[in-house]
Amino acid sequence: MARDKLYVMLVSVLFFLLSACSSAPDLLDKKASYRLIPADDSPLATYVSPLIEDHPDKAGVIPLIDGLDAFIARLALITSANTSIDLQYYIYRNDDTGKLLIWHIIDAAERGVRVRILLDDLTTKELDKGLMMLANHPNIDVRLFNPSYSRTLRGLEFITGFSRMNRRMHNKSLTVDNSASIVGGRNIGNEYFSNNDDVDFGDFDLMFIGDSVDEVSLQFDRYWNADVSLPIEALSTYVIVDKDLAQAIDSIELEREAFESNQYVGRLKLSLLLKQIQENTLEWYWGKAEVVYDPPEKAQRKSEESWLLSDLSRFLSGASREVLIVSPYFVPTREGTKSLVAAAKAGLDIKVITNSLAATDVLAVHAGYQGYRLPLLEAGIKLYEVKADPLYKPSAWSGSSRSSLHAKTFILDRESIFVGSFNFDPRSAMINTEMGIMFHNAIFADAIVTGVEMGLPEAAYTLAVEDGELVWIDEAEGLIVYAEPGAGFWRKFMADLIALFPFESQL
């Protein structure tokens, strides 16, 4: 009898926990807000206006390839902010770069700039208290996309509510004064800005002004005001008191003072982009641009007709001669492989650059990709796999090499380029929300392709087929490798094992 009572009690507790996990909080205080138009005399508007007047209906872009330059660009925009900062990211790490960026954001808020921070909730587990403190500032609002309703039982909620929790906001954008934006593949964290000893992501963003910046702001407004974006105050149980704020301010002041001697700050001062900003010698590429993105309703499996996949299909179908696909996570699927093979047989020159097994930071993705290599190569499609650092041995189970590709870009006919958050895989196509910018400028696109191709012999293996088997050609070393280079037995074994399971739709 006592056992029965215990069983009933345990079931009741479990039912209570599951109910708590699935209950959305009350949102009586959630208010809509929208982009702000900057004052004509703001520093950024003063700089941008004459350039836009000389290039009507066009966007001016600067490629952000180097990690230091990419971080300097963000700091420069935030420092120049006069009216508003809209920040939207999938991952925001509480590391050196994350702190340095947020300190500049706090400075902006202190001088009256309205700040809206929108983060996907998947990796914010340790950030609640800090986000609550930020939201305590009268000029800073923080919202989380598709959040866990239970801040202490996230793992359980992910299991019980997998169909909802599996859908994440992968968008990445920073817009200042509705006058300049940065869109691309980088999250906020040391590994994205050349400040990590464990992994250095090769990534790619575009900083742009002029036409299409307003489209990024409109995109942000849609996500900010969406049903699935909730204020941190409605989610977190932390109660921020004056003592907490005072301690946080003292701590930040001490950290900022100590950070002045940080080696990374010294490296930032050597950034080529910083020198160009200081000397007012920035070189903009001008062309027609279009911002494309998934609607936030994709997280609720709605509005499928307006998902980004249709925009990208339209974009890619415009190629007449050649296509370069750069995607760290490349899982073309059977249907996608058929389409690529058909395009190659019709005369399209297709090159794909992705991570090698040793370089990937997501082993399961490589497991989903590896079976498509032979049919793609046999159709004449060129495959390149980025090398791992030879001095770093990746884990058999997870993790990545010292260097790992993270950029996502598609370039057509050396004339048009897409840069954004979209990977060539089922997760980007059907599960996560994504965004990017299509830019049309032949000089710019050709320069990017030429730069990529020049670096391939040193940075990547060229795949080929010998006697029906895959081989990896290391042109820089003059070697042919007959098994997954640099990966090790157990890493290969795990990739082959994972490939046996029907996980492709989740990759």
Q: Give the pLDDT mean for 205-209.
A: 98
Residue-averaged pLDDT of the chain: 91
Instruction: Evaluate if pTM is beyond 0.75.
Output: yes
- Whether 13 has a pLDDT exceeding 50, the answer reads no
The pLDDT score that the predictor gives to residue 222 is: 98
Q: Tokens for 470, please give them.
A: 């895959």
Helix pair angle (242-259, 128-135), 10° resolution: 100
Q: Where are the alpha helices (DSSP H) in 23-95?
A: 43-54, 67-80
The pLDDT score that the predictor gives to residue 28 is: 57
| CATH T-level topology, domain 46-278 | Endonuclease; Chain A (3.30.870)
Q: Tokens for 35, please give them.
A: 């982009």
Catalytic residues: 170, 172, 177, 406, 408, 413
The pLDDT score that the predictor gives to residue 27 is: 60
The pLDDT score that the predictor gives to residue 238 is: 87
Give tens-digit pLDDT for 79-98: 999 999 999 999 999 999 99
Phi, psi values for residue 406, rounded to 5°: -135, -5
| CATH T-level topology, domain 307-506 | Endonuclease; Chain A (3.30.870)
Going by the DSSP 8-state scheme, the letter that residue 371 receives in this structure is G
Enumerate the domain spans of the chain: 46-278, 307-506
155 vs 356, higher pLDDT: 356
Strand partners, 84: 114
Q: Which residue pairs, CB below 8 angstroms and at least 24 apart, start in 501-506?
A: 503/364, 503/367, 503/368, 504/331, 504/333, 504/368, 504/426, 505/426, 505/430, 506/166, 506/426, 506/427, 506/431
The pLDDT score that the predictor gives to residue 398 is: 42
Going by the DSSP 8-state scheme, the letter that residue 82 receives in this structure is S
Q: Give the pLDDT mean for 495-503.
A: 91
Q: How far does CA 111 lie from the centroid of its chain?
A: 29
Give tens-digit pLDDT for 26-84: 665 789 999 999 888 889 999 999 999 999 999 999 999 999 999 999 999 999 999 99
- Whether 8 has a pLDDT exceeding 70, the answer reads no
Fold match between domain 46-278 and domain 307-506: yes
